[in-house]
Amino acid sequence: MRRLNRSRFQRQNGVSLIELMIGLVVGTVILFGIIETMLVSKSASQTQQSMSAIAENARFAFEFMHRDLRMAGYECNSGGGHYCSWEMVDDDDNPDSRSEPYIAVDDGAVVGRFFQRDSSVDPVKDYLVEVRYQVVDGELLYSRSTFEVGTKSVTQKFASEVLIDGLQDGSALALEFGVHEEDAAGNQVVRYYPDAPPADSTVVSVRITLNFVDNTENGLALEFDQEISTTIAFRNPVIAVKKKLAEEAS
């Protein structure tokens, strides 16, 4: 009589220890992959938000500065240089001739000067407008003053106001002067000087650099900063140079 081998028909119940350990390892790897994907996605999203905040800050600051500083030199008696000349009076009511650069750096602040004329009154009044931009403690400060020419009266003077924050602590507003020159080949060029323009030169533009930073608490111990520059051309000096070149060509 044939005996049946019962072990061939036996079935194992549950899972073995090896299968359990393999399952745990695979599950752990998948879990770590999901966590890593979430962290990368969060970091990428935060980076995009930070760069967007920096770009918006830069757009607003430079747009505001362009509006003011492009008028530097307007109606100035530069005499071929980069100066505004006008008459004031001193504390004793004596005539006081003034001559200041229409664009300059003063104690870390960028200063632009130009003239405005009020034709609605008789006699017509001329005013010197002075705008100042300066970086202090990570903030861009802005002020504007208006002086009536021929008098010592200050018709308007605004205290420094915060234009934007979000600048690198300890950073300063960097300024380069764009000077109209002629190179050795006779080509008309604009060269930039980081400290001060040469004497009696015609400054037609400036290059301004600010170091922006996103100070938002993101929980990732990340800090994003970006050095951004803009170039501002001065309306009247550029027109004067073009007119001079046209006259020389004719």
Question: What is the average pLDDT value for the chain, to the nearest integer?
Answer: 79
CA distance 180 to 188: 7
pLDDT of 190 reads 87
Average pLDDT of the residues in 144-167: 81
Which tens digit of pLDDT belongs to each residue from 90-140? Answer: 666 666 677 788 888 888 899 998 888 777 777 777 888 899 999 998 899
CA distance 150 to 128: 10
The most confident of 3-7, 25-29, 140-144, 164-168, by mean pLDDT: 140-144
Which tens digit of pLDDT belongs to each residue from 170-197? Answer: 888 899 999 988 777 777 888 899 888 8
Predicted confidence band at 162 (pLDDT cuts at 50, 70, 90)? very high
CA distance 112 to 134: 12
Listed in sequence order, the residues at least 6 apart from 199 whose beta carbon sits closer than 8 Å to its beta carbon are: 81
The answer to whether 226 and 54 are in contact (CB under 8 A) is yes
Predicted confidence band at 159 (pLDDT cuts at 50, 70, 90)? confident
- Does this model's pTM top 0.75? My answer is no
For residue 230, pLDDT over 60 is answered with yes
Listed in sequence order, the residues at least 6 apart from 239 whose beta carbon sits closer than 8 Å to its beta carbon are: none
Which tens digit of pLDDT belongs to each residue from 59-99? Answer: 999 999 999 899 888 877 544 567 777 766 666 666 667 77
pLDDT of 220 reads 47
For residue 9, pLDDT over 60 is answered with no
For residue 36, pLDDT over 90 is answered with no
Tokens of 29: 């790897």
